[in-house]
Amino acid sequence: MKKISITTLGCKTNQFESEAILNKFIKNGYILSDLNDKPDVVIINTCCVTNRAEYKSRYAIRRALKSISPDGKVVVAGCYVNKGSSFFEKDLNNLYFFPNDRKHEIFYEIEKLKEEHSRDFMELTTDSYHLHTRVPVKVQDGCNFFCAYCILPFVRGKPVSRPIRSIIEQVNALSENGVKEIILTGINLGLYGFDLTDSNLLYLLKEIVRTDIMQIRLSSIEPMFFNDELIDFLASQKKICHHFHIPLQSGSDTVLRKMNRTYSTAEFKNIIKKVKTAIPDAAIGCDVIVGFPGETDEEFSKTYDFIDDVPVSYLHVFRYSPRKFTKAAEMDWNLSGTISKKRMQSLQKLGHIKKNEFSKYLIDKKVPLKAVLEKKEKEYWSSVSDHSVKIFLRDENNIAENGMLKNVVAKDFKADSDGLIVEEDVHD
């Protein structure tokens, strides 16, 4: 049997695509293997959203080239290929490059199959899962917002939505195959339906909640898509996780404008307020970029104070790095690495405080928790709750037949792993 190994960098959309690519190979007789087992095919699904992501992609490719079997093939796919780099001009006969719009051809090309296959969005799908408990389901690709720092519109192209029928078929198949939780993903998820005549994200969600899937998580959604109708619907649905990732990027209005973001800090604050009013236990995560070209100490302080003031539950902090093709790459950028690192560290510290505050809130308010339990290590079952908090359960009586938590609330911190110990809710 031939062996395949896959390494995925970057976003949930890449994770979905890796599952789909891998599924094609496994359905045709390959087995999933470790890099150390000298695989016949290694796939690196790359990312180029930051310098670090590019570095990790290059590292993974070099490692794969050293690890494959003598006749093995290394497939380099995704955004870093679209972006192009001198690295990809290397003429190695065991190295194959696939940009994003050719990922669905990987299996056929590697196996040298001449079958006809379409190039449409639906081709890349999977009804089973090999890498994840919470399975990403890609419903949208591309973005035309052109935020000044972002390379994704250049490497992912214009927005394209996947037809609802195809999404529902996949969700049903995953559910029949034992998947409990899906994560809806897209490069700009809120744009779902903009290129279709009869659909949008809300309509899609209404269809998905009618399937048998038990838990639905939304990946990142831009703030302007949280309108009243969507918020009311999210609040009314038991299957939808109380976890929303809403990119902020900066808490300074001048920086937001330079970034080509289309909302002000006041509008962002108002959206968070509406979400929290409708869903008081909503976990809200934010992306923030520090060191954007020209960001002053004062602008950074505004970002810090803004985040300190709004009820966010965790932060993903990124240090700006110029991306070829983007508007920001042409701006003067001379902030020292030491300062941007300090800014990043102070926001990470704030993020940690916010995360603990949110965990404490869940304990104090005895918020009921939902999760698919994943694994048992020593005396604890562990997982990630619907609020995206790590949880640990000792008592197996609180595991329902379908593997989900039943009737539990958070009782205490598990300090050694930054998570929550959960126990049966005996509170009335």
Which residue lies nearer to ligand SF4 by CB, 147 or 271? 147
Which residue lies nearer to ligand SF4 by CB, 185 or 398? 185
Which residue lies nearer to ligand SF4 by CB, 257 or 360? 257
Spatial distance between the Cα atoms of 424 and 411, rounded to a whole number of angstroms: 9
For residue 128, give the DSSP letter: S
- The 104-143 contact track toward ligand SF4, x by CB under 6 A, reads ---------------------------------------x
Least separation in angstroms between residue 12's CB and ligand SF4 is 13
Which residue lies nearer to ligand SF4 by CB, 157 or 403? 157
Which residue lies nearer to ligand SF4 by CB, 40 or 222? 222
Supply φ then ψ for residue 66, to 5 degrees: -80, -25
Spatial distance between the Cα atoms of 182 and 209, rounded to a whole number of angstroms: 11
* Candidate residues 43, 187, 271, 391; the one interacting with ligand SF4 per rule CB under 6 A: 187
- Rounded to the nearest angstrom, the gap between the alpha carbon of residue 229 and the centroid of all alpha carbons in its chain is 24
Least separation in angstroms between residue 323's CB and ligand SF4 is 10
The answer to whether the Cα torsion of 205, 207, 209, 215 is positive or negative is negative
Question: In the window 24-83, what residues touch ligand SF4 (CB under 6 A)?
Answer: none
Buried b (16+ CB within 10 A) or exposed e, 342-362: ebbeebeebbeebbeebbebb
222 binds ligand SF4 (CB under 6 A): yes
Order of strands across the sheet with 243-245?
A: 243-245, 283-290, 314-319
Task: Report how far apart, in Å, the C-alpha atoms of 178 and of each of 181, 212, 238, 382, 403 are.
Answer: 9, 10, 19, 18, 10
310 binds ligand SF4 (CB under 6 A): no
Residue type at 201 in one-letter notation = L
Q: Which of 93, 27, 35 is nearest to 64 (CA)?
A: 35
* Candidate residues 13, 100, 188, 211; the one interacting with ligand SF4 per rule CB under 6 A: 188
Beta carbons within 10 angstroms of residue 163's beta carbon: 14
Residue 23, helix vs strand vs coil: helix
Which residue lies nearer to ligand SF4 by CB, 226 or 358? 226
Which residue lies nearer to ligand SF4 by CB, 136 or 153? 153
Question: In the window 143-162, what residues touch ligand SF4 (CB under 6 A)?
Answer: 143, 145-147, 150, 152-153
Least separation in angstroms between residue 32's CB and ligand SF4 is 30
221 binds ligand SF4 (CB under 6 A): no
Least separation in angstroms between residue 214's CB and ligand SF4 is 29
Least separation in angstroms between residue 50's CB and ligand SF4 is 12
Task: Report how far apart, in Å, the C-alpha atoms of 216 and of each of 100, 174, 194, 422 are.
Answer: 26, 12, 22, 21
Q: For residue 370, give both structure tokens.
A: 């939902």
Which residue lies nearer to ligand SF4 by CB, 144 or 277? 144
Least separation in angstroms between residue 92's CB and ligand SF4 is 32
User: Which residues contribute to the site for ligand SF4 (CB under 6 A)?
Assistant: 143, 145-147, 150, 152-153, 187-188, 222
